[in-house]
């Protein structure tokens, strides 16, 4: 059996079975999802993290590229109770260390009790505990990954749906999932995907109907360019955001964000809409949250479990944001109408901006 060691913040080292070789370090988090492992593993929001699956068997329906949310695996390493050969081989081909035969119930309990923590992993024929501890020692806090946007964003503008005749969306890619683009294209939008550090000039040149800030990894305070874009365009252009995007919008407009103890990750997070009283189930993956919305935003939806903000609307601007993933694959699909609301907001703004005929 290939040796594997998992060093946890505080110095405790776990032994496991190695399934994909290598060394890695990152913030140790967990997801409660029991399907959608392909989507989770290719979600850019897991950049610089080590992902623990709480469900005991991962890989029981294989690996299919059409389910991927990006072009690569983003977690630095993977922990599971049991990984199938398909998933283990996939992770090995991606150079992502993986281990199993762990009591992931204990790991998840540790994270829930102590919070997301630094972690080091070593997998291979000749690795030792000291190799995992060395990775742990070199591990940085998520807030210290100040250039994390560069690791997950496009390098240059890319356009999708150029022949569509719907709204034009400038999507700032801070680590966008592919399903966000797909959801907008399905509604006849033209989507210009911009780098995370796009300038106001870049956005202006597109004359977009919507400025859309994507999901992504890390501390929202480190996305200074995206914050500047929201500040520059909020008065004149409708703004939307998902996950990290909601946090960036809040940071830009006088609100505040904070690190959560262990975050929300999974496909069964209940969200209450404060106006309708309806509860919907959502997919989530984030370690930061909006602590204060500020004067320009109001909280419209909250998490049933801990009352954290799940939806924000603009008080005096055209803004809609969601902390969860309305585009979630494999599901649930309770909140796909968010994209209809975003494009309707843009259409309404465009209609009122055009003077009526005499």
**H/E element, 279:** strand 279-292
Asked whether residue 263 is marked as a ligand-binding residue, the answer is no
> Could you tell me which residues come within 8 angstroms of residue 258 by beta carbon, excluding any fewer than 6 positions away?
288, 289, 291
The token pair at 330 is: 């494999």
Phi, psi of 37 (to 5 degrees): -65, -30
Catalytic entry in 39, 47, 48, 327: 327
Asked whether residue 70 is marked as a ligand-binding residue, the answer is no
Is 243 considered catalytic here? yes
Asked whether residue 241 is marked as a ligand-binding residue, the answer is no
Nearest to 246 by CA among 298, 193, 305: 298
Catalytic entry in 27, 47, 243, 251: 243
CA–CA gap between residue 226 and residue 228 (Å, rounded): 5
CA–CA gap between residue 180 and residue 342 (Å, rounded): 12
Asked whether the beta carbons of 218 and 47 are under 8 A apart, the reply is: yes
Task: Count other C-beta atoms under 10 Å from residue 356's C-beta.
Answer: 6
CA–CA gap between residue 358 and residue 356 (Å, rounded): 6
Asked whether residue 59 is marked as a ligand-binding residue, the answer is no
Asked whether residue 218 is marked as a ligand-binding residue, the answer is yes
Asked whether residue 49 is marked as a ligand-binding residue, the answer is no
Is 74 considered catalytic here? no
Is 27 considered catalytic here? no
Asked whether residue 231 is marked as a ligand-binding residue, the answer is no
Asked whether residue 166 is marked as a ligand-binding residue, the answer is no
Residue ranges for the known binding site are: 45, 216, 218, 244, 247, 285, 287-288
Residues annotated within the binding site for L-glutamine are: 45, 216, 218, 244, 247, 285, 287-288
Query: What amino acid positions are annotated as catalytic residues?
Result: 243, 325, 327
């Amino acid at each position: 059996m290939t040796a594997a060691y998992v060093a946890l913040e505080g110095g405790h080292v776990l032994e496991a079975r190695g399934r994909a070789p290598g060394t890695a370090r990152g913030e140790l988090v967990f997801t409660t999802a029991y399907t959608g492992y392909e989507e989770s593993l290719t979600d850019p929001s897991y950049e610089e993290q080590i992902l623990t699956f709480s469900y005991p068997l991962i890989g029981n329906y294989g690996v299919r590229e059409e389910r991927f949310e990006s072009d690569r695996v983003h977690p630095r390493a993977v922990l599971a109770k049991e990984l199938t050969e398909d998933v283990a081989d996939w992770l090995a081909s991606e150079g992502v260390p993986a281990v199993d035969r762990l009591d992931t119930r204990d790991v998840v309990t540790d994270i829930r009790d102590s919070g997301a923590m630094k972690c080091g992993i070593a997998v291979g024929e000749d690795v030792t505990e000291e190799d995992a501890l060395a990775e742990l020692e070199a591990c940085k806090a998520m807030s210290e990954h100040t250039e994390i946007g560069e690791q997950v964003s496009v390098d240059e503008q890319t356009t999708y749906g150029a022949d569509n005749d719907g709204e034009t969306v400038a999507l700032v890619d801070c680590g966008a999932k592919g399903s966000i683009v797909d959801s907008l294209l399905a509604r006849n939008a033209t989507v210009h995907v911009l780098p995370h550090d796009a300038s106001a000039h870049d956005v202006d040149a597109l004359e977009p109907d919507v400025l859309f800030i994507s999901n992504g990894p890390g501390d929202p305070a480190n996305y200074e360019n995206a914050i500047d874009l929201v500040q520059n365009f909020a008065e004149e252009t409708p703004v939307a955001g998902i996950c990290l995007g909601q946090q960036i919008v809040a940071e830009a407009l006088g609100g505040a964000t904070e690190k959560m103890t262990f975050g929300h990750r999974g496909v069964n997070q209940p969200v209450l809409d404060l106006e309708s009283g309806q509860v919907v189930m959502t997919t989530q993956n984030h370690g930061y949250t909006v602590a204060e919305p500020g004067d320009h935003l109001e909280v419209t939806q909250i998490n049933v479990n801990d009352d954290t903000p799940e939806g924000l609307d603009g008080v005096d601007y055209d803004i809609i944001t969601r902390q969860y993933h309305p585009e979630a694959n494999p599901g649930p699909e309770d909140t796909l109408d968010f994209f209809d609301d975003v494009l309707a907001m843009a259409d309404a703004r465009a209609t009122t901006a055009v003077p009526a005929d005499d």
